[in-house]
């Protein structure tokens, strides 16, 4: 075991180090969620020509802290007919996998909780566990809106995990490792994996939006249809844990995965400058890349409307999954056919990106033409009935 500082017993130091690490991650998650909430409010306000938070603190900086204190102070109300044990356990089942995911995220050179050789598989496994807590929350609430929200979430998250994992597998084929640290170290220069497998990035980005319940895929908590979905019966900090902390924590994780697998993670200018400045610059580069994707998530929320549940599921099973399967097969065949070069893989991926971008509007136009044709055929019958 690693000896502790100041002559501490190794066993005691191992336990203390674990407690300190968990406390530090919780501190970062709590403050990161508050920062992202404030940032999203301000960005959406700018895009929608509003002011946003500005009353509490300078520039409204303390508004999210006031909201957090309000949630902590609110009564932990629970309806009488809920299943007490599962109702109380659901927020922990949703929050714990997100918390454990930060263990393998490499924030900088040597700054990682655990360099697992199966780090990406570990992240994919934990990402699929959150749906259990959401379904349990919907069922234990003994509320039809909550139950529908939970079932919607199960269908959506399980469906979009398939293209998300297939996109990650495509990245692993090119990177040659499941270790997040090895994947980062394999992209030291400007030729990052995004230029080699951009189509896998596009499909994973779409799947990540759906898996984090972000617009336009926020069907499980659709307030216009389901009051608040699986969150309807929750209040106080249990509601805040499931909605604010877990959602923004998951957004940070998927954006960190994209920054690591496709954009070199903490790689950037100056990381070899010294034993102190190098890791600090690495953390800076990783943070900038991750928050760039988070800003795009917020931009999409301000731009796109929510999809219908049938459109959401149809897009996943009829478009996204076949596209990711095709990309995985093409990438694997080209890697076997041209073992010494990634140029064929890059050309094929960019061709698929172009076809995907051109094909989606064509499919939408075709769907609209069919819809208009059905409405025209139905119009005479409706007029005769009237």
Looking at residue 1, what is its pLDDT? 57
Of 76, 87, 98, 78, nearest to 30 by C-alpha is 98
What is d(CA 352, CA 341) in angstroms, rounded to the nearest whole number? 19
Q: Of 73, 91, 121, which residue sits at a domain end?
A: 73
Ramachandran region, residue 56 (left: φ > 0; alpha: ψ -120 to 50; beta: rest): beta
Looking at residue 5, what is its pLDDT? 64
Instruction: Please indicate, yes or no, if residue 381 is contained in any of the structural domains.
Output: no
DSSP 235-273: -HHHHHIIIIIHHHHHHHHHHHHHHHHHH-TT--TTTTS
* Position 292 pLDDT exceeds 70: yes
Indicate if 173 and 108 belong to the same structural domain: yes
Indicate if 175 and 66 belong to the same structural domain: no
* Position 167 pLDDT exceeds 90: yes
Provide CB contacts within 8 A for 70, sequence distance 6+. none
Instruction: Please indicate, yes or no, if residue 146 is contained in any of the structural domains.
Output: yes
Q: C-alpha angle 92/98/104, rounded to 5°?
A: 140
Range of weakest confidence among 158-162, 167-171, 240-244, 270-274: 240-244
* Position 312 pLDDT exceeds 90: no
Structural domain count, the chain: 2
Indicate if 247 and 112 belong to the same structural domain: yes
Specify which of 98-107, 162-171, 237-246 reaches the highest per-range mean pLDDT: 162-171
Q: Of 21, 51, 73, which residue sits at a domain end?
A: 73
Looking at residue 168, what is its pLDDT? 95
Indicate if 2 and 146 belong to the same structural domain: no
Instruction: Please indicate, yes or no, if residue 238 is contained in any of the structural domains.
Output: yes
The answer to whether 338 and 344 have CB atoms below 8 angstroms apart is: yes
Looking at residue 114, what is its pLDDT? 83
- CA separation (Å) from 358 to 7, 111, 205, 353, 362? 65, 41, 18, 9, 7
* Position 386 pLDDT exceeds 60: no
Indicate if 204 and 349 belong to the same structural domain: yes
Indicate if 64 and 135 belong to the same structural domain: no
Indicate if 189 and 300 belong to the same structural domain: yes
Range of weakest confidence among 4-13, 256-265, 362-371: 4-13
Instruction: Look over the chain and give the mean of its residue pLDDT values, rounded to a whole number.
Output: 86
The answer to whether 208 and 299 have CB atoms below 8 angstroms apart is: no
Instruction: Please indicate, yes or no, if residue 108 is contained in any of the structural domains.
Output: yes
Provide CB contacts within 8 A for 91, sequence distance 6+. 133, 137, 234, 238, 241, 242
What is d(CA 21, CA 242) in angstroms, rounded to the nearest whole number? 22
Of 124, 123, 28, 137, nearest to 93 by C-alpha is 137
* Position 4 pLDDT exceeds 70: no
Of 224, 225, 249, 244, nearest to 234 by C-alpha is 244
Indicate if 255 and 344 belong to the same structural domain: yes
Instruction: Please indicate, yes or no, if residue 290 is contained in any of the structural domains.
Output: yes
Q: Of 51, 73, 95, which residue sits at a domain end?
A: 73
Domain enclosing residue 57, as ranges? 1-73
Name 111's bridge partners: 108
The CA-to-CA distance between both ends of the chain, in Å, stands at 83
What is d(CA 166, CA 19) in angstroms, rounded to the nearest whole number? 35
Indicate if 39 and 184 belong to the same structural domain: no
Count CB-CB contacts under 10 A for residue 32. 17
Specify which of 127-131, 240-244, 341-345 reaches the highest per-range mean pLDDT: 341-345
What is d(CA 126, CA 124) in angstroms, rounded to the nearest whole number? 6
3-state secondary structure (DSSP) of residue 305: coil
Range of weakest confidence among 4-8, 79-83, 169-173, 290-294: 4-8
pLDDT band at 227 (very low <50, low <70, confident <90, very high): low
pLDDT band at 221 (very low <50, low <70, confident <90, very high): low
Of 245, 297, 246, nearest to 94 by C-alpha is 246
pTM (predicted TM-score):
0.88
Instruction: Please indicate, yes or no, if residue 383 is contained in any of the structural domains.
Output: no
Say which DSSP state 57 is in: S
Instruction: Please indicate, yes or no, if residue 382 is contained in any of the structural domains.
Output: no
Indicate if 56 and 158 belong to the same structural domain: no
What is d(CA 156, CA 313) in angstroms, rounded to the nearest whole number? 7
Indicate if 1 and 49 belong to the same structural domain: yes
Indicate if 17 and 117 belong to the same structural domain: no
Looking at residue 80, what is its pLDDT? 77
Looking at residue 259, what is its pLDDT? 94
Instruction: Please indicate, yes or no, if residue 308 is contained in any of the structural domains.
Output: yes
* Position 385 pLDDT exceeds 80: no
What is d(CA 221, CA 231) in angstroms, rounded to the nearest whole number? 7
* Position 173 pLDDT exceeds 60: yes
Express as a percent the part of the chain with pLDDT over 90.
Answer: 34
Looking at residue 191, what is its pLDDT? 85
What is d(CA 164, CA 203) in angstroms, rounded to the nearest whole number? 7
pLDDT band at 77 (very low <50, low <70, confident <90, very high): confident
Phi, psi of 111 (to 5 degrees): -105, 85
Looking at residue 222, what is its pLDDT? 59
Express as a percent the part of the chain with pLDDT over 70.
Answer: 94
């Amino acid at each position: 075991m690693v000896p502790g500082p100041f002559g501490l017993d190794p066993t005691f130091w191992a336990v203390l180090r674990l407690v300190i690490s968990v406390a530090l991650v919780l501190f970062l998650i709590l403050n990161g969620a508050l920062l992202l909430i404030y940032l999203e409010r301000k960005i959406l306000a700018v895009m929608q020509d509003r002011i946003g938070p500005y009353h509490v603190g300078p520039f409204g900086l303390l508004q999210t802290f006031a909201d957090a204190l309000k949630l902590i102070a609110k009564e932990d109300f629970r309806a009488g007919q809920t299943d007490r044990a599962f109702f109380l356990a659901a927020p922990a089942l949703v929050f714990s996998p997100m918390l454990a995911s930060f263990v393998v995220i490499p924030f900088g050179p040597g700054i990682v909780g655990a360099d697992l050789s199966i780090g990406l598989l570990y992240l994919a496994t934990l990402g699929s566990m959150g749906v259990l807590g959401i379904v349990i929350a919907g069922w234990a609430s003994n509320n039809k809106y909550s139950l529908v929200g939970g079932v919607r979430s199960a269908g959506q998250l399980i469906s979009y995990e398939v293209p998300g994992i297939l996109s990650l597998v495509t990245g692993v084929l090119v990177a040659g490792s499941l270790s997040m640290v090895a994947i980062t170290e394999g992209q030291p220069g400007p030729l990052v994996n995004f230029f080699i497998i951009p189509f896998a990035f596009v499909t994973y980005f779409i799947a990540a939006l759906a898996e984090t319940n972000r617009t336009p895929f926020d069907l499980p908590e659709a307030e216009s249809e389901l009051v608040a979905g699986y969150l309807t019966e929750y209040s106080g900090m249990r509601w805040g844990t499931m909605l604010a902390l877990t959602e923004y924590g998951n957004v940070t994780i998927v954006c960190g995965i994209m920054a690591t697998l496709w954009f070199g993670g903490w790689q950037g200018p100056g990381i070899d400058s010294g034993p102190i400045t190098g890791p600090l610059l690495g953390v800076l580069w990783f943070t900038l890349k991750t928050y760039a994707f988070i800003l795009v998530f917020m931009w999409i929320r301000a731009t796109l409307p929510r999809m219908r549940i049938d459109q959401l599921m149809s897009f996943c099973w009829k478009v996204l999954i076949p596209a990711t399967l095709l990309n995985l097969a093409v990438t694997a065949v080209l890697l076997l056919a041209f073992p010494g070069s990634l140029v064929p893989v890059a050309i094929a991926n960019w061709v698929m990106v172009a076809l995907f971008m051109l094909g989606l509007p064509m499919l939408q136009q075709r769907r609209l033409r069919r819809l208009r044709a059905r409405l025209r055929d139905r119009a005479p019958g409706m007029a005769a009935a009237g």
